[in-house]
DNA sequence: GTCACAAATGTGACCGGTCACATATGACTT
DNA sequence: AAGTCATATGTGACCGGTCACATTTGTGAC
């Protein structure tokens, strides 16, 4: 008397084969949509699968094919920032559509060591490819240096591939042009951290646009993306005589508005402020924030496309993603 | 003439064994810190591993042990909300510390079908356990109904386990008590969506605290967590004669402040407003927001603890997580 | 009738670990 | 010297898929 196999762990391809009275290989073929299966046979196999509640074992397939159908996402400490969070949601969705799973790794701090640990973790995990949300220049460099056994796509780091990142330079330009057109001539900037490529791209775009009209920023303060740092940045701008400020993200703009307010200046009457990102809250700041909108969701989808096509060897093309100016009440003509 | 194995794919445990002149099993023992390995032997094996740049193959181990050392995280559409985003970062960190990987699945919409798809995806993936960030009551019910072959821990859904969720009821109480103590007697509430358990818990805590002093809310409006919905909620409160409002999260509080301002009311002079969460931006709203702080990070760590101990069969205990009142400028005594 | 060839299915090895079990070595009794 | 036991290592099967190859069946051409 043998113990019923189904009483033990989950059924295997052989159990299904036995029930459908075919060979295990035929079951495998049904599983993989191979041609040359008689419809009647396929039916029998499918029925057997259903009856046994069969679920293919990913590990076994991975072992045999050495393709895990898994992509790793490397996420820096900024996980709770609005941008990255919405990007990875898009990544997961796009990946699952294509039959891929997403495994996560988030290095605690922005240290090269932590970074390579996290990468290593993903590679050990057997991912087929990696999407690195590596907005810090150092981080991107670290990733690029480690020569990885799998393809790596870097996003939010102005990686050179214009499809994979909102064009931050253009965004900076839009901000400068908007303020200039309103009549402002003394413009300041609160930038993101110097080692974030998005921050430098936004800044450069801003400076270039000013240079084009023969001007330049009267002051630049560096923040760390947080509202708190935007608040503190005001110190550095107070005596610059600026009438308008471009903040590299919405949170810092919020902090700056707060500081300006504490200093007795009204926005936009005494000081125009423009942000970047267009977070869902920006429309409800006081005053509602003029900002540059970017499409994080698109970035995530594009990243998956790009990675999977690198895996399949079928290169894909697409246009770069342009940010958009959204005018609200925090900017106006100077008094 | 045989092709050098190293030229092909990555080295296996047998390659290491050959180089170290031991059996493959000995290598396996070194890998798993088994006792009864002579130090000299261990050295030789480790050296061989280093030389070959050996990396254990997770799929093979998973296949042999039927433990994937992977936990799935089920994340609802709310991924870009501040809370969930910081929670999963904590989950990943805690999991990696324990040698587990995290795979993600985020159902696009809050539909039972999408939910069970996502769960199924994770189970197929071979996860050892699942952490479901399932704040919607419907979602939680859906997860609970599907009888899963692996343990599932639900967080942010007041699952009954007080260790795994900030005590939202207490948070609601704190808000009510703060406003009452300031002298407010006509209190309103902007709640989260009715089918989120956190929303109802906050609301109930608020109502209970008022009932304790023989009162009750003069108006309740339901929002969807967004600042936009907070703005719209003002409509429903305008004529209630309320002097203070408890908003179920900071974003809605922001929207409400905006609406109040548009209606010519000053905060807190004409209307006190208190939020919930203490997002990093809340301190920089105008006025800076009084709110209830909760520790998302802790929730994430606890969830992993709880899941892994369920897997190991070693139950863990811990105190429930209490939220904290943070007083800023958006609340004051009524005029 | 048989040969050729496509369609449909079966056979056993293999991926890279772990498991259960067998075996070899040394130290310590008796 | 033989027996016992802990220590240290080796052997081959196995997990559940896929792969390369072999085999059987059906169909039309000659």
pLDDT digits (tens, 9 = 90+) for B39-69: 999 999 999 999 999 999 999 999 999 999 9
Which nucleotides on strand D sit less than 7 A from a protein beta carbon? 7-12, 14-20
Contact B228 A280 (CB under 8 A): yes
Pairing of strands A187-191, A152-155: unpaired
Beta strands in B145-268 (DSSP E): 152-155, 187-191, 219-222, 244-247
What burial class does residue A195 get, using C-beta atoms within 10 Å of its C-beta: 0-12 exposed, 13-18 middle, 19+ buried? middle
Q: For residue A297, what pLDDT is reported?
A: 86
Sign of CA dihedral B91, B97, B98, B101: positive
**Tell me: the pLDDT tens digits for B232-261?**
999 999 999 999 999 999 999 999 999 999
Which region, left, alpha or beta, applies to residue A170 given φ > 0 means left and ψ of -120 to 50 means alpha? alpha
Relative to beta strand B70-75, strand B101-105 is: parallel
Q: How many Å lie between the alpha carbon of B208 and the closest alpha carbon of chain A? A: 30
Give the gap in angstroms from C-alpha B72 to the nearest C-alpha of chain A. 9
Cα(A239)–Cα(A223) distance, integer angstroms: 18
How near does any CA of chain B get to the CA of A93, in Å? 7
Contact A79 B93 (CB under 8 A): no
User: Distance in angstroms, CA of B29 to C1' of C16?
Assistant: 15
Distance CA A168, CA B270 (A): 42
Q: Per residue in B9-25, pLDDT tens? A: 689 999 999 999 999 99
pLDDT for residue A162? 61
Answer yes or no: is A41 CB < 7 A from strand C: yes
CB pairs under 8 A between A and B: 156
The pLDDT tens digits of the residues spanning A278-331 come to: 999 999 999 999 999 999 888 889 999 999 988 877 777 667 789 999 999 999
pLDDT at position B80, please? 57
Place of tokens 């039972």: B112
pLDDT value at residue A195: 86
Whether residue B88 has a cis bond before it, omega within 30° of 0? no
Q: How far apart are CA B33 and CA B20, in angstroms?
A: 17
Q: For residue range A243-267, list pLDDT tens digits in order.
A: 999 999 999 999 999 999 999 999 9
Which of B321, B301, B322 has the alpha carbon at shortest distance from B153?
B301
Q: What is the pLDDT of residues B244-303, one digit of tens each?
A: 999 999 999 999 999 999 999 999 999 999 999 999 999 999 999 999 999 988 888 999
- Between CA A35 and C1' C5 the distance (Å) reads 17
Nearest nucleotide (CA of A24 to C1'):
C10
Convert the pLDDT of each residue in B178-222 to its tens digit: 999 999 999 999 999 998 888 999 999 999 999 999 999 999 999
Which tokens in the block code for residue A45? Answer: 């196999």
pLDDT of residue A149: 80
Residue count of chain A: 335
For strand C, is any atom closer than 7 Å to the CB of A25?
A: yes
Q: Burial-class residue B97 by CB neighbours within 10 Å (0-12, 13-18, 19+).
A: exposed
Say how many Å lie between the first and final Cα of chain A, rounded.
94
Q: Closest nucleotide (CA of A22 to C1')?
A: C9
B5 is near strand C: CB distance < 7 Å = no
Residues of A in contact with B254 (CB under 8 A): 281, 284-285
Query: At residue A11, does pLDDT exceed 90?
Result: yes
């Amino acid at each position: 008397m043998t113990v019923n196999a189904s009483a033990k762990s989950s059924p295997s391809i052989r159990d299904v084969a036995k029930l459908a009275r075919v060979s295990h290989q035929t079951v495998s073929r049904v599983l993989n949509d191979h041609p040359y299966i008689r419809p009647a046979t396929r039916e029998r196999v499918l029925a057997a699968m259903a009856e046994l509640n069969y679920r293919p074992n990913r590990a076994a397939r991975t072992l045999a094919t050495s393709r895990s159908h898994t992509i790793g996402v490397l996420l820096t400490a900024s996980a709770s920032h609005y941008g990255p969070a919405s990007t990875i949601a898009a990544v997961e969705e796009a990946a699952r559509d294509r039959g891929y799973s997403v495994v996560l790794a988030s290095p605690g701090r922005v240290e090269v060591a932590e970074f390579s640990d996290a990468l290593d973790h993903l590679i050990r995990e057997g991912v087929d490819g990696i999407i690195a949300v590596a907005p810090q220049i150092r981080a991107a460099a670290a990733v690029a240096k480690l020569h990885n056994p799998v393809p790596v796509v870097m996003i939010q780091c102005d990686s050179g591939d214009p499809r994979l990142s909102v064009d931050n330079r253009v965004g900076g330009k839009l901000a400068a042009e908007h303020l200039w057109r309103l009549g402002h001539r003394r413009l300041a900037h609160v930038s993101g951290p110097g080692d974030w490529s998005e921050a430098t791209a936004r800044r450069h775009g801003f400076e270039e646009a000013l240079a084009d009209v023969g001007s330049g920023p009267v002051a630049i303060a560096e923040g760390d993306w947080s509202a708190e740092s935007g608040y503190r940045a005001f110190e550095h701008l107070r005596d610059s005589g600026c009438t308008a400020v471009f903040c590299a993200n919405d949170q810092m703009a919020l902090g700056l508005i707060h500081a300006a307010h504490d200093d007795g200046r009204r926005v936009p009457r005494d000081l125009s402020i423009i942000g970047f990102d267009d977070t869902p809250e920006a429309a409800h700041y006081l005053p509602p924030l003029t900002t540059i909108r970017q499409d994080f969701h698109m970035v995530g989808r594009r990243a998956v496309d790009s990675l999977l096509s690198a895996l399949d060897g079928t290169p894909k093309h697409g246009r770069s993603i342009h940010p958009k100016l959204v005018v609200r009440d925090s900017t106006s003509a100077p008094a």
